[in-house]
Amino acid sequence: MSSIAFIGLGNMGAPMANNLIKAGHQLAVFDLVPGAVNSLADAGARAATSAADAVRGAEVVVTMLPASKHVEALYLGQDLLGAIDPSALVIECSTIAPDSARKVATAAQQRGLAMIDAPVSGGTAGAAAGTLTFIVGGEADNLARAMPVLQAMGKNIFHAGPAGAGQVAKICNNMLLGILMAGTSEALALGVANGLDPKVLSDIIAKSSGRNWATELYNPWPGVMENTPASKGYAGGFGVDLMLKDLGLAAEAALSSRSSIPLGELARNLYSLHSGDGSGKLDFSSIVNLYTHKTQ
């Protein structure tokens, strides 16, 4: 078992860290929210007083932070790289801009540190269940080293390519997810407005050419599926503002590569409107409320 520093104990990070503890790894944890640290300490982790304290002596460093600016501030601004043992492996699980991932990876390489970017898919439910999908960028040898740690938190692990490739693949996936959820919501709202039962319409779509993940596993209409955010007041899950952030990353990547993403940009505008009506903290499937004229 490994000695692991885990930094960032939010809705995703906390259950991921907890699964590492359950797998028998020794954890030192840090977050800017003391309550999050204390909760993991109660589960058996060492409560670190700072990020630098957490990484001291760690064989593996895992970070799960909100955005690019936080990752760059931690690794480069605070020079956390300088506090990490040169023999350690760094696993950066945040969803950030590919350019930021490459920037930090280059700085790590210059210090002789092994690092991979490994953003996740699967949401808070996947984080809690240990069934996340890891989309990895970096050298194959470093991924091989990371496998025992990743397998304690996830079920599917893909090697997308060199540093930053994990972020590119994650951004592409989430852009498509945002488009699919907006389109599914639009179709269901149209059907209901014309007298259809949303569950019946969802069942029809799920067995027809319009089938997709949203209609089959994460339906946005309240009451159609049990245990989805839509049937719990859109609480939990993957927030509107997080989807908006990822769609913004897709726009940045498109600009950087001179790519055209008209549907991605449209989805970004829709989620921006939805966030602006006070729904930013709700699950992203609440985008259906835009089509039914419901607001917070």
Closest CA to 103 of 77, 84, 142, 133: 77
- Residue from 22, 103, 155, 170 carrying the catalytic annotation: 170
Sign of the alpha-carbon dihedral angle for 254, 76, 239, 157: positive
294 φ/ψ sector (left φ>0, alpha ψ -120 to 50, else beta)? beta
**Across-strand partners of 159?**
136
- Classified as helix, coil or strand, 81 is helix
What Å distances lie between residue 111 and 76, 105, 116, 248, CA to CA? Answer: 12, 10, 14, 31
Three-state DSSP class for residue 40 = helix
- Assign 208 to helix, strand or coil: coil
Q: Which tokens sit at 129?
A: 């269940």
170 counts as catalytic: yes
Rg, C-alpha atoms of the chain: 20
CA distances from 260 to 46, 205, 254, 256, 264 (A): 47, 29, 6, 11, 9
Catalytic residues: 170
